[in-house]
Amino acid sequence: MALPGEVVHTFHGARQAGIAEPPQAWSTLIAFDLTEGADRERVRRLMRVWTDDIDRLMSGRGTLTDQEPELARRSAGLTVTVGWGPRLFVVADLQEVRPTWAVDLPEFSHDELDQAYGGGDLVLQISAHSPITVAHAQRQLTTSATGMASTRWVQPGFREPMEYHGWSMRNLFGQVDGTVQPRFEGADADLVWIGSDGPAGWRHGSSMVVRRIAMRLDAWDRVGRTGRENAIGRHLDDGSPITGGPVDSPVDLAATLDNGLPVVDGAAHVRRAAATTREEQFLRRPYTYQDIDGSDVRTGLVFVTYQADPVRQFVPVQRRLADGDLMNLWTTPVGSALFAVLPGCSPGRYLGQDLLI
At residue 338, the 3 state secondary structure works out as: strand
- DSSP, res 79: E
Q: Where are the beta strands (DSSP E) in the chain?
A: 26-34, 79-84, 122-128, 149-158, 169-170, 176-177, 206-215, 283-284, 287-293, 296-307, 331-341
101 and 199 Cβ atoms separated by less than 8 Å: no
Of how many residues is the chain composed? 357
Amino acid code (one letter) for 42: R
CA atoms within 13 A on the CB side of 290: 10
Rounded to 5, what percent of the chain is helix, strand, coil? 30, 25, 50
Structure letter (DSSP) for residue 262: B
- Does residue 39 have an active-site annotation? no
Separation CA 125–CA 117 (nearest Å): 15
Question: Do 187 and 278 touch, CB atoms closer than 8 A?
Answer: no
Long-range contacts of 221-225 (CB under 8 A, 24+ apart): 223/330
H-type alpha helices, the chain: 40-58, 86-91, 131-144, 189-192, 217-220, 225-232, 269-273, 310-324, 353-356
Instruction: Report the distance separating Cα 54 and Cα 270, nearest Å.
Output: 38
What is residue 176's DSSP assignment? E
From 55, 121, 177, 309, the catalytic residue: 177
Catalytic (active-site) positions: 177
